[in-house]
Amino acid sequence: MFTEKDALNLAEKSLKDSLGKKDLELLAKINGSEILSLLAGSSFLTRNFFSSIQLCSIVNARSGKCSEDCAFCAQSKFYSTSAPVYPFKSPSELICLGNNLAKTPVKRYSLVTSGKGLELKEIEKVIDVLGALKNKIKLCASLGILSLKDLTSLKKAGLNRYHHNLETSASFFPKICSTHTYEERILTIKRAKEAGLSVCSGGVFGLGESISQVIELALTLKDLKVDAIPLNFLIPIPGTPLEKANFLTPLYCLKIIAIFRYILPDKEIIVCGGRKQNFGSLHPLVFLAGASGIMTGNYLTKSGFSLDEDLNLLKSLQFHI
């Protein structure tokens, strides 16, 4: 039986050195109520590096008609869904949203667009937004696959962090996307780092990947030395190939967060999409599992917890923000 003492021993080992193959195999095998014992070590690691919970929020700046065929995505042009479709929002609207967020405890504001990348005129709109907000709130963007030139221009305009998920492991990626390669995603992360940007990259879970492939993704992100890892949990969308997916349970979601904390003990781990839909009554335990941050507000096409709901939760748990 895996106990809390075992979890703390594993956490101590994670602090001193990277976990070995046998340690990772042990993490993969832990199931049922033993997952709760695992949280003793993951919460220890989180407290060792983070004294507060970071809040970030996103805006869907351009929605729908995406040229890519990611099997989980409501915005792909390949699937018939009820997701909203609209062109790039006006800079004035995006600036207004950023100014409003800057008056709250939210520390980071991210512009997200559907599609493989942006055209020059859209990059210029992003630059306008960054220029207006750069001294008010930390700025992030998720704009797809961009060139080093574009990423460098965004950095100069005030962008602090670039978000670009790998989505899943290299071995599972061909089963969820055929319109671009895993290597293209990794290259974008490397370009963002070369441009001097902090990098936020993680994945979506519940796609049918194995627990070994969850660990594979965590190790890839460790090798890439990303700064923050957003963890998303699938909300099955009617009309997509994964509309009937049913791979997640609240305990299993907690296990995924904990695995990332053990493998990446000093990195920001942000629980993002699907938090409201997948954790049920175990939701407050995401912080014991390893979350050092949460994305508050709505997701790209689905509702999330409101800022007030999240602030009330953090207050009841006596976490600092």
**With 90 as the cut, is the pLDDT of residue 302 above it?**
no
Cα dihedral 200, 201, 205, 208 in deg (nearest 10): 170
Q: For the whole model, what pTM was predicted?
A: 0.97
Q: Which of 48-57, 79-88, 151-160, 206-215 has the lowest mean pLDDT?
A: 79-88
> What are the φ/ψ torsions at residue 175 (nearest 5 degrees)?
-80, -10
**With 90 as the cut, is the pLDDT of residue 300 above it?**
no
The tens digit of pLDDT for each residue in 101-119 reads 999 999 999 999 999 999 9
Provide the percentage of residues in the chain whose pLDDT is more than 70: 100
The pLDDT confidence band at residue 13, using thresholds 50, 70 and 90, is very high
- For position 303, what pLDDT does the model report? 86
Average pLDDT, the chain: 96
Provide the percentage of residues in the chain whose pLDDT is more than 90: 97
- For position 298, what pLDDT does the model report? 86
Beta bridge partners of 200: 163, 228
